[in-house]
Structure 1
Amino acid sequence: MKVLVISPRTSGLGGVAQHVGKLVKLLRRDGHEVDVVSVENTPYLPVKGLMNPSFALAALAKAAAGRLLGRRYDVAHAHNVPSAPAMRAARGGRVLTLHGVFSEQVGYLHGGLAGRLGAWAERKALEWADAVTAVSRSAAERYRSLGFDVLHVPNAVDPADLPEEGARFFERQVVYCGRLSREKGVDLLVDAVKRVGANLVVVGGGPLERELRELARGDPRIRFTGPLPRAEALKIVKGSDVFVLPSRHEGLSTALLEAMAMGVPVVATRVGGNPELVEHGETGLLVD
């Protein structure tokens, strides 16, 4: 089978990147021919607010050029709404996977007008697809309420990728691992840690890294590692006493799945797919 996979990212610590990167690896392992369109091989503008729109346009141009050259796929699989125009332009069956509620995330990050534009783009993407999947039940139900047939296919982790030994910077430590952006709520975690006197390790990078470092400035109990290779990041999660996911918006967190799979106690906000993974008081704690 010949497959085109379109995703803003296929590498890094982000959950979508981890999901798609693993999917591509397994498809190729099973003998399928896989082409990938992502920021790793497609031009885009690395500017806040312009990354997704610029990737969407460049990916569309790339897929359209492939169609003009006679390229045909059995499946064009787009991950999230910015990948949908390229999915539509490609020749082949169209599958759209949604890793959260796109319009809500865009509206939160960029305001009401952007949210309304996101809702329009979201509906168009759903209309273009022959099949739609969502990684969380909450997202699937949201899109079903708009009249679309959406299949719930949850994220997963491969135990073979998880380390046997952990690493730590403090005798006892709390850890966050993931993208440092507004919807992830890491500012709330930094502020909480400063109040209770715990040790915190923040693993990852993103647009809020400088702001978060400034928020924690002068506190020796808070350590930022910056972006790390995934294997190193997972060792730090494995070696921690608690993993915290303080998201304001969430799909179905790969980082939360990984922490739970490694036996690390978890605390997460009651948003998105988090309550689908964490049973409060049994498999972790949920907070509002």
Structure 2
Amino acid sequence: MKLLYLGNQLSKHGFNKTTIETLGLQLEQEGYTIYYASDKKSFLFRLLDMIWAVFIYRKQVSYILIDTYSTKAFWYAFFCSQLARIFNIKYIPILHGGALPNRLKKNPKLCQILFANAHKNIAPSGYLKKAFEKAAFTNVIYIPNSIEIEKYPFKKRTELTPKLLWVRAFASIYNPEMAVKVLQQLQKKSPSATLTMVGPDKDGSLQTTKDFAKSIGVTVNFTGQLPKEDWWQLATTHDIFINTTHFDNTPVSVMEAMALGLPVVSTNVGGIPYLLRDKENALLVNDNDVVAMTNAICSLLEDREQCKTLALNARNFIEQMDWDVVKEGWKLVLR
């Protein structure tokens, strides 16, 4: 079977890999032939490249997969889906971004045109599935983001130190400055506390975060973007993973931290509570609550048994998202 996959294929430009570059490869390994668009850096050129790909491959592919986001990239999905309808090609939006429910409320007519006419809408989280069903879409299927669990060595942490790790693109919606504020508060109780922040810049937030850390006299290790294997190795020298986002769906970096055995402290926004259960496989705090996140970290440092339990539960939970399990859902959709 031949597929066209539309999304932001931008890792060669210094951005993190998105689903198009992970799921696409996994589907290829299952025997599907996949054409891709687009790796163009410019928004306009990327849109034109996607539209051209729909036209070029219109007679060759059985389905078009479309990574569908809530902000500017929403328009890729909208225009390409309507072209697919003209050519009578089945298209499948893959829903991303914790703010998609806001898009459903903001543009109900456009969303109706896009999502109601899809072959299926793939929700990688119970959060988005519930939001779309609440908006009366009946063609929504839950297929979680996946990881290849055998690639993630689980480290049992018998001794916990206040070494924090943050992995995400630097963008305002992910609230990177909160991580710096947490470090500042934590150092008042644990002067040896450190923070490493890994990820590329997306909207100028990297420099803003650096300037903020400098302004309050806090030293942070900014690594820039790292290949997955490098940050996995870096994780072995850190003991707590923090996620500070304002909006979210099912972040792969958090899933990877769970697989690696890093206890996670996160804001409880968007789809996060569908992935992380407070005091079961992670600790959750309210959005932008620096004091609560600092206290949660301190509770982990003081209670090693709690930390051990959270990490083991997180690993057991994430094993359900191994590709060997998740791929069966995709085979059903694409049969």
- 1:220 Cα deviation (Å)? 5.6
Closer, same or farther: CA 141–212 of 1 in aligned 2, 3 Å: same
Which aligned pairs between 1:19-58 and structure 2 lie closer than 5 A?
19-38=19-38, 40=39, 43-45=40-42, 51=43, 55-58=46-49
Closer, same or farther: CA 139–120 of 1 in aligned 2, 3 Å: same
Residue 71 of structure 2 is matched in structure 1 by none
> Residue 73 of structure 1: which of 58, 61, 64 is its match?
61
Alignment: residue pair count: 262
Contact 1:64–1:86 under 8 Å retained in 2: no
Bigger radius of gyration: 2
Range with greater deviation from structure 2 (53-62 or 271-280): 53-62
Residue 110 of structure 1 is matched in structure 2 by none
Which aligned pairs between 1:101-180 and structure 2 lie closer than 5 A?
101-103=98-100, 116=106, 121-149=110-138, 150-162=140-152, 172-180=162-170
Closer, same or farther: CA 105–240 of 1 in aligned 2, 3 Å: farther
Closer, same or farther: CA 159–10 of 1 in aligned 2, 3 Å: farther
Contact 2:165–2:240 under 8 Å retained in 1: yes
Measure, in 2, the Cα distance between the counterparts of 1:156 and 1:62.
26
Partner amino acid, structure 2, of 1:100: G
- 1:44 Cα deviation (Å)? 4.3
Residue 269 of structure 1 is matched in structure 2 by 267
Q: Is 2:185 the partner of 1:195?
A: yes
Q: Secondary structure at the match of 2:231?
A: helix
Contact 2:248–2:272 under 8 Å retained in 1: yes
Contact 2:2–2:62 under 8 Å retained in 1: yes
> Residue 220 of structure 2: which of 203, 219, 222 is its match?
222
Q: Is 2:77 the partner of 1:86?
A: no
Closer, same or farther: CA 186–123 of 1 in aligned 2, 3 Å: farther
Partner amino acid, structure 1, of 2:169: R
Partner amino acid, structure 2, of 1:227: Q
Closer, same or farther: CA 165–262 of 1 in aligned 2, 3 Å: closer
Residue 111 of structure 1 is matched in structure 2 by none
Residue 50 of structure 2 is matched in structure 1 by 59
Percent identical pairs in the alignment equals 21
Range with greater deviation from structure 2 (17-26 or 241-250): 17-26
Measure, in 2, the Cα distance between the counterparts of 1:268 and 1:78.
29
Q: Is 2:284 the partner of 1:286?
A: yes
Partner amino acid, structure 2, of 1:191: K
Give structure 1 stretches of 5+ with no counterpart. 46-50, 108-114
Q: Secondary structure at the match of 1:283?
A: coil
Measure, in 2, the Cα distance between the counterparts of 1:281 and 1:255.
20
Measure, in 1, the Cα distance between the counterparts of 2:144 and 2:25.
18
Q: Secondary structure at the match of 2:121?
A: strand
- 1:88 Cα deviation (Å)? 3.8
> Residue 229 of structure 2: which of 228, 231, 234 is its match?
231
Q: CA RMSD in A?
A: 2.7
Closer, same or farther: CA 286–102 of 1 in aligned 2, 3 Å: closer
Partner amino acid, structure 2, of 1:213: K
CA deviations 1:20-56 (Å, max 9, x no partner) are 3221112212222111112x2xx342xxxxx4x6633
Q: Secondary structure at the match of 2:277?
A: coil
Measure, in 1, the Cα distance between the counterparts of 2:169 and 2:200.
6
Closer, same or farther: CA 122–161 of 1 in aligned 2, 3 Å: farther
Q: Secondary structure at the match of 1:95?
A: strand
Q: Secondary structure at the match of 2:214?
A: coil
Q: When the two structures are superposed, what TM-score results if normalisation uses the length of structure 1?
A: 0.81
Q: Secondary structure at the match of 1:3?
A: strand
Partner amino acid, structure 1, of 2:96: H
Measure, in 1, the Cα distance between the counterparts of 2:18 and 2:100.
22
Contact 2:99–2:248 under 8 Å retained in 1: no
